[in-house]
Amino acid sequence: MSKKVVLLPGDGIGAEVVREAEKIIAHLSDHYGIGIETETHLVGGASLDAHDIPVKDEVVEACKSADAVLLGAVGGPKWDDYPSDKRPEKALLRLRKDLGLFNNLRPVTVFSSLKDASPLRPEVVDGVDLLVVRELTGGLYFGEPKEITEVNGEETGVDTMRYSVTEIERITRAAFDAARKRRGKVTSVDKANILATSQLWRKTVTRIAAEYPDVELEHMLVDNCAMQLIRNPSGFDVILTENMFGDILSDEAAMLTGSIGMLPSASLGDGTGMYEPVHGSAPDIAGKDIANPLATLASVALMFRFSLGHEKAASDIEEAISAVLNAGYNCKDMSRHARHVLSTSEMGDKILSVI
Amino acid sequence: MSKKVVLLPGDGIGAEVVREAEKIIAHLSDHYGIGIETETHLVGGASLDAHDIPVKDEVVEACKSADAVLLGAVGGPKWDDYPSDKRPEKALLRLRKDLGLFNNLRPVTVFSSLKDASPLRPEVVDGVDLLVVRELTGGLYFGEPKEITEVNGEETGVDTMRYSVTEIERITRAAFDAARKRRGKVTSVDKANILATSQLWRKTVTRIAAEYPDVELEHMLVDNCAMQLIRNPSGFDVILTENMFGDILSDEAAMLTGSIGMLPSASLGDGTGMYEPVHGSAPDIAGKDIANPLATLASVALMFRFSLGHEKAASDIEEAISAVLNAGYNCKDMSRHARHVLSTSEMGDKILSVI
Ligand SMILES: CC(C)[C@H](C(=O)O)[C@@H](O)C(=O)O
Ligand SMILES: CC(C)[C@H](C(=O)O)[C@@H](O)C(=O)O
């Protein structure tokens, strides 16, 4: 029973961090006899350069028929001025939509050994372990109309935030299911004092919550959540929110760790899951073998857990990462908080040796 | 040449903090012979209780014909389950719209004596002095359609983010004018990789910026801004952004100080300006004479500066606040960072005595 994993290194440091992931995947596949086959495709700027399109139909099809997709990162200054249908991010949006990846999981954990890396006081971030569950295929990202038109003789931009009950229900269940396996608390974030979508969101979340009597639900306004993430981040377990709010809040939450080079993500739907580090393509450090591969390796752990059904392999990676960090190893981005600074490939090898 | 100021204490601690403001206004009016007349009206929950409507037409008219409006705060648990057209916040929205208050200024200053109050490391927040310029009458707050309807047999919520070039131009000029009087840098925050409104926003801001060659412009994506506000808040001077992003980012920025009980705001348009503390109505501490009136007093300073044309009175208040804080006085919310804890009314008197 073999498995297929599509690798999409993308742009910038994507290739380097995905290369380390490949090593780990190959090792664990052998070790546990999983029989993982990988195939690699172009996305983002790399695909624009080669094929003049952010992602080819064949690539989307290959992803659909795979068991999991691992993405590095897309984008870079080279493509910044491309017209909006030819931007590297379009590849991401198309993959999210076509694979039906409505459920974006972004865990934020402050490793005890790295709490001094945070811009927040160590006592504020110590023990932070939260999960942002972001709706990923609805809201302002995909709603129509989304256009610039002439209204009363002047240019006017319009975007549309739209959510159906079904869309809210399924992401709510995902959040509550996740909370059940964690500390049993969901904070649903909206702007119900202003937005119609948020009123429907709040009503629907409250209704679904009744199916989970063992999970505590609180509602919070998005502006207040932006405050509370700084004031008392340990107060959160699972944060459930819509696409745009999730984009903003998950990045804010990520920065609490002071080490966004280390945070993974999973995007799930009814079919293939996609996994990617939270960081971007970091074109300034690309090709120098200094990028931190840990976020990508942690994403591989999530891939083993959620898409390949192999919890043991997932925890092998996660335990190796903890052990390596506790032993004082890290990459250049975290050099102020490490006793031993490793290159990208050295870090991959280190994790491999510990596994 | 007398001036009229409308006081809208609103709900919760609003009455207490506005009472202290009245003392200061009366004193400075006498002292400088400005001849300020005040009149007080109901808004928010208070108005709902008395008149079953968040704000009466006569009150809106009184505000329109005044030189300035000072608002305490609106809202509280009592009115949380009211239908959406009978919520205290509707008063705020109506006043913003009817007075044309498109320009919301939210200065965030970390007082040196209070840098330990921040959840961030003192060295990260030391010297932070930024201004959020938030567009206040457009975007998702007011765009139509904004409704819950039946689509293909299921409930669907929709909100509309809409901006015309004219709306973007005028808030951009406001931000650049403000930057000129500060450190000469504008960070325009949008989500141009996803939103059509943001693409128009970015294009328009870039064009208007050419009229201000002495002011530096940078563009930043909203998710990145949410990170940078924590990572390096001193990197910001003026943050220019649309309504919803401004709501979230200004609250995040406010929390950097650890003392949101002390932050003022001004909302300006072509007519009457409105001034209010950034904090809410804090129903839990209402009526106890422990609320911090400093945010409201700092808002009064902005009122003297922007609406009453009296810079001297404005700086009198601001200098008194600094002096009182430096001398170790503060209110209960900041008691861990104060040598002397004052009640609401004692703080008002203290500021008065220093002025
Ligand atoms: C690159 C961009 C389109 C994307 C998003 O906004 O979703 C990114 O910020 C993210 O959070 O994955
Ligand atoms: C009370 C609410 C409607 C308001 C807003 O969202 O604008 C508040 O959060 C603010 O920032 O002034």
pTM score of the predicted model: 0.97
Fold of A129-255: Isopropylmalate Dehydrogenase (3.40.718)
- Residue whose entry in the numeric block shows the structure tokens 């008149």: B51
Q: How far is CA A177 from CA A15, A96, A240, in A?
A: 34, 21, 12
So what's the pLDDT on residue B260?
85
Residue A39: Cβ within 10 Å count: 11
Asked if residue B227 has its Cβ within 6 Å of ligand 1, the reply is no
| pLDDT tens-place string over residues A127-164 | 999 999 999 999 999 999 999 999 999 999 999 999 99
CATH among 3.40.50.261, 3.10.450.200, 3.40.718.10, 3.40.50.300 for A1-106+263-355? 3.40.718.10
Residue from A43, A92, A104 whose mutation best tests the ligand 1 pocket (most atoms within 8 A of CB): A92
User: Is A223 annotated among the ligand-binding residues?
Assistant: yes
d(CA A15, CA A8): 8
Residue B115 a catalytic site member: no
Asked if residue A193 has its Cβ within 6 Å of ligand 2, the reply is yes
Q: Is the pLDDT of residue A174 over 80?
A: yes
| pLDDT tens-place string over residues A42-96 | 999 999 999 999 999 999 999 999 999 999 999 999 998 888 889 999 999 999 9
Sign of CA dihedral A117, B258, B220, A223: positive
Nearest bound ligand to the CA of residue B191: 1
Phi-psi region of B196 (alpha: psi -120 to 50; beta: other; left: phi over 0): alpha
Asked if residue A119 has a cis previous peptide bond (ω within 30° of 0), the answer is no
- A1-106+263-355 and A129-255 share one CATH topology? yes
d(CA B238, CA A117): 27
User: Whole-angstrom distance between the N-terminal and C-terminal Cα of chain B?
Assistant: 23
Nearest to B293 by CA among B115, B41, B73, B103: B73
**Spelled out in words, what is the top-level CATH class assigned to the domain B1-105+258-355?**
alpha beta
So what's the pLDDT on residue B1?
66
d(CA A123, CA A127): 9
Amino acid present at A210: A
The DSSP code sequence of A164-185 is EHHHHHHHHHHHHHHHHTTTSE
Q: How far is CA A289 from CA A277, A330, A345, in A?
A: 17, 13, 7
- Pair type for strands B103-109 and B129-135: antiparallel
- What mean pLDDT is reported for chain A? 96
| pLDDT tens-place string over residues B211-253 | 999 999 999 999 999 999 999 999 999 999 999 999 999 999 9
Helix H, strand E, coil C: the string for B225-258 is: HHHHHHHCHHHCCEEEECHHHHHHHHHHHHHCCC
CB pair distance less than 8 Å for B148 and A200:
yes
- Residue whose entry in the numeric block shows the structure tokens 């990459």: A331
- Residue whose entry in the numeric block shows the structure tokens 């392999």: A313
| pLDDT tens-place string over residues B107-153 | 999 988 888 999 999 999 999 999 999 999 999 999 999 999 999 99
Closest approach atom of ligand 1 to CA B193: 3
The ranges assigned to domains in chain A are: 1-106+263-355, 129-255
Burial class (CB in 10 A: 0-12, 13-18, 19+), A34: middle
- Residues 80-139 of chain B with CB under 8 A from chain A are 84, 87, 89, 93, 119-121, 124
CB-side neighbour CA atoms (13 Å) of B251: 21
- Cβ contact A197:A163 at 8 Å: yes
Which three-class secondary structure state does DSSP give residue A288? coil
Task: Among A1-5, B65-69, B143-147, name the one with the lowest average pLDDT.
Answer: A1-5
